[in-house]
Amino acid sequence: DNTFVLGLTVVSAYVEELDDKFNENRKSEPWLVEFYAPWCEYCKTFEPIWYDVGAELKSLGSPVNVGKLDTTAHSSVLSDFNIRGYPAIILVKGEKSFEYRGPRTKDGIIEFTNRVAGPVVRPLTSAQLFQHVLSRHDLFFLYIGGRSPLKGQYHKVAAEFIIYNYFFSASEEVLPQAVSLQEVPSIAVFKDGTYYLYNEKRDGNLSDWVGRERFRCYFQMDSFTLYQMGETTKLVALAIVDETNPTTESVRYKALMEKVATEYRDHYNTNFQFGYMQGNDYINGFIMGELALPSLIVMNMTIDGYYLPEQKVETMEELLQFLNSVLNGRSKLLGGNGYVRRMKRLYYRVTSAVKTGFASAPFVTCFLLSLPVGLVVMIVWGVCTAVPVDEDKADEGALLATGTRPAASQRKRTEQTSNESKKED
């Protein structure tokens, strides 16, 4: 235990606790900052990972400083950042800030930091350097050629998507003979063991093309990936499987999805992103129901909608029919983000949280639920047991408060004055 505490103390030395002065000091050097709140339970769980990130970047000789900032104690700093949840991880370079939207893992955060902290577009000056990048990265974009208006567009788009992908530039001589270009300058994306060239007439706006191509054709997705899908125009076709207990059907679903993603890429790539997902927990929350394992689903993350096959899919032909029915509107769109649907989703999340709380900590959950009930009971009890105030006294008190004498008192004084006058007479 003492060794663990000592180790935690050592790595935490590489993470600086920031305050209100951060906005003044951030412009001189890059910072990777965790914005947290003391009441956030996940922030506490995430803390050892964050300390490991700080220690790892220090050992790599990174110029990026690592810090953490309590947003409840230093709220003035938040004006320059759009914090939507905790912990929020943001890399700050001068006036610019880049939010990390991937899994909260040490490797993922360090990869993000190294990518964003460096040049937006990195030059590849030799064939050996190109081969090194090709072997190290599953996906990257490459500009081939010299100065041109296209290169200016490429740099702008790279600055937009650097939080997700690497962007490089090279001359035509650096590329292997296997890479065949139709013209120079060109832009290519290397992924899935091959490459695809950008064609403005066919693919439209460069930014839109990069947004569609920044994922591999088929891969395992998680909640972070699906969140990013909401920023694209693509539908997400998923095989939902349980890999801890694989079945013949789940293996077939994954194989079908991968095959349609690769062999039918030219037909479906513009409209669909293909992949698979482990477990149905996230999907159940999305559809507010129970999706059997394994299953196939197509999701529209932009509007929180989804499509389900009307019958069981067992062959490639049946899968293609399902995808085509989604595209031509024959398949029924379920879900959505209308007002009623949002209220139902809120209710579902609350009830799910209560069920989870009862399962993990029933006594604590009962106590928390009893607090608002107890408050209501106290208010009702206070109203029912309140002592009624006499109306005359209430009127008198109100008049005295305004400096006005009650009418009864004024009549009494008038009578007394009249009697005294009669005695004098």
Which residues are catalytic, by number? 40, 43
Cβ neighbourhood burial of 70 (10 Å; 0-12, 13-18, 19+): middle
d(CA 125, CA 274): 34
Please say whether the beta carbons of 30 and 70 come within 8 A. Answer: no
Q: The tokens of 58 are what?
A: 């220090």
Q: If you ran DSSP here, which 8-state letter would residue 297 be given? A: E
**How many other C-beta atoms are found inside a 10 Å radius of the C-beta of residue 154?**
24
C-alpha triplet 365, 369, 370: angle, nearest 5°: 115
Q: If you ran DSSP here, which 8-state letter would residue 232 be given? A: S
C-alpha triplet 296, 298, 303: angle, nearest 5°: 145
Kindly give, in sequence order, each residue whose CB lies less than 8 Å from that of residue 222, ignoring residues fewer than 6 positions away.
103, 277, 282
C-alpha triplet 165, 305, 211: angle, nearest 5°: 20
Kindly give, in sequence order, each residue whose CB lies less than 8 Å from that of residue 229, ignoring residues fewer than 6 positions away.
236, 273, 299, 301
d(CA 144, CA 171): 5
Please say whether the beta carbons of 105 and 49 come within 8 A. Answer: yes
